Amino acid sequence: MADKIVILTGAGISAESGLGTFRDEGGLWAQHRIEDVATPEGFARDPALVHRFYNARRVQAASALPNPAHAALARLQRDWPGEVVIVTQNVDGLHEKAGARAIHMHGELSCALCAACGHRWTAPLEMSPGAPCPACNRPTARPDIVWFGEMPYHMDEIEAHLLSCDLFASIGTSGQVYPAAGFVQEAAYAGARSIELNLAESEISRAFDDHRTGPASEVVPAWVSELLD
């Protein structure tokens, strides 16, 4: 049976599509306080501020185009004889725009969530504070984004994939946010080989068996060609 590949992606894969990363110089977390815009407490304090932050990102993501790294992963998922599971921390939807399927562990900008009843629906480009939930009518609509202090989505499914994969690849993520930063160890525990593709060394580079250093738009297509051709 052909190898099963699990790929974790982070903000670095979308950097060359014009979307800012979080922790690089001048990144989103240098411009905004995490406590204000990416926690349930921040949303309770100032929902208008949080909506402004995600509205701006939603508008930007809506016009962003996938780059050659997203396209290469879509090609790998289509042409690899075994299973290719893409798990993304990104909320931008660029894997899908490139024709791939991805598990969204940190939610999606294109989706709204009712904080009261858990109903989900397609978010308008601009969400406003107090907008009613279409299912329960309470004014509790929020972006469907996993904030700090909340449990990432689909963890059981992701862990099952990690424990049954032969190769684990991490692309464009700084390895500073758990549980994603611990995936390489889980895959290694299950006997998988691992490779990190990143612009620079990350916090967790030493945990990987193999490395490709450079911009995702170059190193990812080259790696996919190595695997497929």
DSSP state of 200: S
Q: Could you say whether residue 84 binds ligand OAD (CB under 6 A)?
A: no
Cα–Cα dist 42/30, whole Å: 17
Q: Could you say whether residue 177 binds ligand OAD (CB under 6 A)?
A: yes
Active site residue 106: yes
| Among positions 172, 184, 187, 224, the unique one binding ligand OAD when judged by CB under 6 A | 172
Closer by beta carbon to ligand OAD, 106 or else 161? 106
Question: Which residues, at least 6 apart from 106, have a Cβ–Cβ distance to it below 8 Å?
Answer: 88, 89, 90, 91, 145, 146, 152, 153
State the nearest-atom distance from the C-beta of 9 to ligand OAD, in Å: 8
State the nearest-atom distance from the C-beta of 2 to ligand OAD, in Å: 27
Sheet harboring 107-114: ordered strands across?
120-122, 107-114, 141-145
State the nearest-atom distance from the C-beta of 207 to ligand OAD, in Å: 14
Q: Could you say whether residue 16 binds ligand OAD (CB under 6 A)?
A: yes
| Among positions 103, 116, 188, 199, the unique one binding ligand OAD when judged by CB under 6 A | 199
| Among positions 24, 36, 83, 159, the unique one binding ligand OAD when judged by CB under 6 A | 24
Cα–Cα dist 57/47, whole Å: 15
87-126 binders of ligand OAD (CB under 6 A)? 89, 106
Q: Could you say whether residue 212 binds ligand OAD (CB under 6 A)?
A: no
52: tokens are: 């402004």
Write the burial class of residue 125 (CB in 10 Å: 0-12 exposed, 13-18 middle, 19+ buried): exposed
Cα–Cα dist 25/23, whole Å: 6
Write the burial class of residue 193 (CB in 10 Å: 0-12 exposed, 13-18 middle, 19+ buried): middle
Q: Could you say whether residue 15 binds ligand OAD (CB under 6 A)?
A: yes
| Among positions 55, 77, 194, 202, the unique one binding ligand OAD when judged by CB under 6 A | 202
Q: Are 148 and 109 in contact (CB under 8 A)?
A: no
Q: Are 179 and 19 in contact (CB under 8 A)?
A: no
Q: Could you say whether residue 182 binds ligand OAD (CB under 6 A)?
A: no
Q: Could you say whether residue 66 binds ligand OAD (CB under 6 A)?
A: no
- Tell me the three state secondary structure of residue 114: strand
27-56 binders of ligand OAD (CB under 6 A)? 27, 38
**Among residues 32, 106, 154, 161, which one is catalytic?**
106
Q: Could you say whether residue 200 binds ligand OAD (CB under 6 A)?
A: yes
Which positions are catalytic?
Answer: 106
Binding residues vs ligand OAD (CB under 6 A): 10-12, 15-16, 21-24, 27, 38, 89, 106, 146, 172-174, 176-177, 198-200, 202, 215-216
